[in-house]
Amino acid sequence: MQDIIRYFDRAFQISKEIPQEPVLKYAIARLENFDGLHRDNWSLLENLLLQSITIESSTLRDALSIVQKHQIKEYPIDLGSLEKNLNLQIIQHAPLGHSSEVAWVIWSVIVFNLSIYKKASKMISDMEDSIVAILALDAQRRGRFPEGLTTEKWEQFLTEDELYGDQWLLSYEVNQQNYLPTGYDYVSKDSWFSQLKQSGVTFYDQTTPLIIPPGEISGPSGELQTVIINPKK
């Protein structure tokens, strides 16, 4: 237990001292292949992983990959705390237009079978990003928006003209996946996109395995790596 506390204390300290370096992300990524955790220490590690996400959102993918790995091993997962943390991430990043962060959060909600709260749902609905919208619509289909999801902003892009606009991916995929019935099959009316639809082409696979893949280990090098990995030194 003390080794875990020392490890994260050191990582938190260095991340404050050198904020321009991805210290926390690197420190957590290094834990991906660590198999020596005693089951009694899991709750502590889980809390520290969620704390890291709150401090630095770039750690989300690696931290949740570790959480899922232990969930598969039937370790107890605090899904309530995880759900609150993920909703907080949406509330923090959606108004800033941080599409990548929000997209990963929505995917994580789907993977862990969690819910997106009303406030976070509204903020997602206000975003104009095709990836975020497609993930949100899939999450809605899976029942991850218990208080509903507003789609009016995205419905304006469901036209034949928009197939050649900035939101072409959303326009095509919503029609192909039948996320939002429009009563008008504008994709089949287009000479080019209709060929994709007839061939069964999709850009978002709803049947893909529900996993959080770990990211590549990248971060501080040299002496700084040694300090993080071996906090006793």
The number of domains in the chain is 1
Q: Is 136 a domain residue?
A: yes
What's the domain range around 59? 2-150+200-229
What pLDDT does residue 217 have? 61
Q: What is the pLDDT of residues 136-178, one digit of tens each?
A: 999 999 999 999 999 999 999 999 999 999 999 999 999 999 9
What pLDDT does residue 36 have? 74
Confidence bin at 231 (pLDDT 50/70/90): very low
Q: Is 180 a domain residue?
A: no
Confidence bin at 214 (pLDDT 50/70/90): confident
Q: Is 125 a domain residue?
A: yes
Average pLDDT rounded to a whole number, residues 192-209: 95
Q: What is the mean pLDDT of the chain?
A: 91
Contact 151, 125 (CB under 8 A): yes
Q: Is 139 a domain residue?
A: yes
* Residue 62: its H or E element: helix 60-72
Q: Is 107 a domain residue?
A: yes
Confidence bin at 216 (pLDDT 50/70/90): low
- Give me the long-range contacts of 26-29 (CB less than 8 A, separation at least 24): 26/217, 26/218, 26/219, 26/220, 26/225, 26/228, 27/219, 27/228, 28/52, 28/59, 28/62, 28/63, 28/66, 29/62, 29/214, 29/215, 29/216, 29/217, 29/218, 29/219
Residue type (1 letter), 56: E
Q: What is the pLDDT of residues 6-15, one digit of tens each?
A: 999 999 999 9
Confidence bin at 223 (pLDDT 50/70/90): very low
Q: Whole-model pTM?
A: 0.90
Q: Is 179 a domain residue?
A: no
Q: Is 130 a domain residue?
A: yes
Q: Is 168 a domain residue?
A: no
